[in-house]
Each structure stands twice: as structure tokens, then as C-alpha cells.
Amino acid sequence: MFLGSHRVTHLVAHRGNAADYPENTLPALRSAWRLGVRFALLDVQLAADEVPFACRDGVLARTAGVGVSVFDLGSRELAALDVSEPERFGERHRGTPLPSLADVAALCVEHPEITLLLELRRESLARFGTDVVVGRVQEVVRAVRTQCVLVSRDLGAVNLARAGGHRVGWVLPAYDAHSRLKYEALRPEFLLVDAADLPDDGRRLWRGPWRWVVLGVDGADQAQALAARGADFVATGAVAPLSAELRARARTS
């Protein structure tokens, strides 16, 4: 955590420590925990047999180097993939597997201090339907549900997850009056918004019973400015440099 105008704000590892490790993988998560980060935001897609995996893209060319859809492979085939992101890391992380959501849940059992925000990706919602995606994810994380927040850009998925008793988060399509009416009615535990979508006027974020998570934060100056505006969390893949700089500033403030 760090201070921004005397407000305590937490760092969220977006897809784990994704600057130094392949995103959405167990090594990326473990690295974030070692760096002292206790919150992570991961993506969730379903395999062809409806098993949830920690995966961002519908097509796996970027992470696995194969131009195949995640929806065309079963869970065994997905688990056997190497998602070491060779274009970004070369051979550095060769052999890194794509983790199932069950693998991630097992990591939560080992680390009860961890909170995961799990974003249910729209591609899977469109392919399998909201009921199936939300239901499969709820089944997998049942044992660690107190450590999990189900997040989506799709309001139907958020409402269904809330009806199932989960803490929920909504990723705002825009920071505007139309979205504000919707989330004031929903009153989720978390509201997520891209930093680029916020007005550049320095005004405080809208207040309510929710906690703000601002995505796409790269530098300490930006993080502290957002903290001063009311951000409870800032999310980044550059966990190591940002956490180090923020901790250093907190010690000298």
C-alpha cells in the first residue's frame, strides 16, 4: 500500500507481475506475492469443454504462438500449451503452462491473504452464455469464494454473479452519467475504470459504497494523483518498479 494525500491506496497486479513474467500465469502471480502485492486482476476464458482458464485472448497467437482459438481446445489441450510469450520474452520463460482457474484457486488456498479479481471475458460470455460462464467459475472458486471478486464489463454477468452471493465488480464502459445511473443502482463492491477514460480535470471520483480500481497505471506520479482523487486501488502489470517507487515515496512522506 502507499499514501496519496494521506489516503491509503493498494496496488493491484494486473495479470500478475506481467512485465517480468507471462501474463495470467502462476509464475506472474507468485512474483507479485513476493513483491508484497496482495491483490491481482486476472482474465478468465472457458475451454471447449467449459473448464475455466486464466486467459485473456480468445485466440492464442500472442501468448502461445499458435493461431488457434481457446474455444476450440479442450482443457487437457490448453493445459499442455506453452504460453511463455516468445515474442516478448524469447526463451526466458519457455515451458510456462496456461493455468486453469482451479490451479489459481489452489494458489489461493496456499495464500489466504490474497484477493483475486476475476474478469469474465466477453468472448466467453458470447460463446457459452452468461449462465454457463458464471456457473462454471462459481463452481471452481467455491472453496475460496471469500478471496474472489467476479468482475465483468457485461452487466448481465455482474448481476448473475451478485445473485449467486459473490462480491462483484463492474468495468465501466465510460466514465459518464449514463454509467453512473447503472452502477448506483447495482452498487457493486468494486468499480473498475481505465485511467485513459477518466476526465483530466483532477476532480474526485464519484463517491459511493464501492471501491475504485483504476486500470492502466504506469508511473508513481499518476498513481499518487489518482489516490488523491479517491482511487482505492491502481492496477498495473509493471509491479516491481511501481511498487518499489511508491514504497520509497511513502517512507519519505
Give the pLDDT confidence score for residue 246 in this predicted structure.
84
What is the mean pLDDT of the segment spanning 23-36?
97
Q: Measured between alpha carbons, how far is 83 from 101 in angstroms, rounded to an integer?
A: 15
Give the pLDDT confidence score for residue 6 in this predicted structure.
47
Give the pLDDT confidence score for residue 35 in this predicted structure.
94
Non-local CB neighbours of 79 within 8 Å, separated by 6+ positions:
97, 98, 100
Give the pLDDT confidence score for residue 253 in this predicted structure.
67
> pTM for the full model?
0.95
Kindly write down the DSSP assignment for every residue of 12-62, as one continuous string: EEETSSTTTS-TTSHHHHHHHHHTT--EEEEEEEE-TTS-EEE---SB-HH
- pLDDT tens for each residue of 125-142: 999 999 999 999 999 999
Q: Measured between alpha carbons, how far is 124 from 171 in angstroms, rounded to an integer?
A: 16
Neighbour-count burial of 94, counting CB atoms closer than 10 A to its CB (0-12 exposed, 13-18 middle, 19+ buried): exposed
pLDDT band at 2 (very low <50, low <70, confident <90, very high): low
- pLDDT tens for each residue of 206-236: 999 999 999 999 899 999 999 999 999 999 9
pLDDT at 43 over 60: yes
- pLDDT tens for each residue of 80-101: 999 999 999 999 999 999 999 9
- pLDDT tens for each residue of 181-198: 999 999 999 999 999 999
Give the pLDDT confidence score for residue 5 in this predicted structure.
47
Give the pLDDT confidence score for residue 151 in this predicted structure.
98
Residue 13 in grid coordinates = 497486479
Q: Are 170 and 188 in contact (CB under 8 A)?
A: yes
What is the mean pLDDT of the segment spanning 65-79?
95
pLDDT band at 57 (very low <50, low <70, confident <90, very high): very high
Number of C-beta neighbours around residue 157 at 10 A: 25
Give the pLDDT confidence score for residue 8 in this predicted structure.
56
Helix (H) or strand (E) holding 124: helix 122-128
pLDDT at 1 over 80: no
Q: Measured between alpha carbons, how far is 237 from 72 in angstroms, rounded to an integer?
A: 28
Give the pLDDT confidence score for residue 95 in this predicted structure.
97
Residue 49 in grid coordinates = 469443454
Q: How far is CA 114 from the centre of its chain?
A: 13
Give the pLDDT confidence score for residue 250 in this predicted structure.
78
What is the mean pLDDT of the segment spanning 33-50?
97
Q: What is the mean pLDDT of the chain?
A: 94
Q: Are 244 and 200 in contact (CB under 8 A)?
A: no
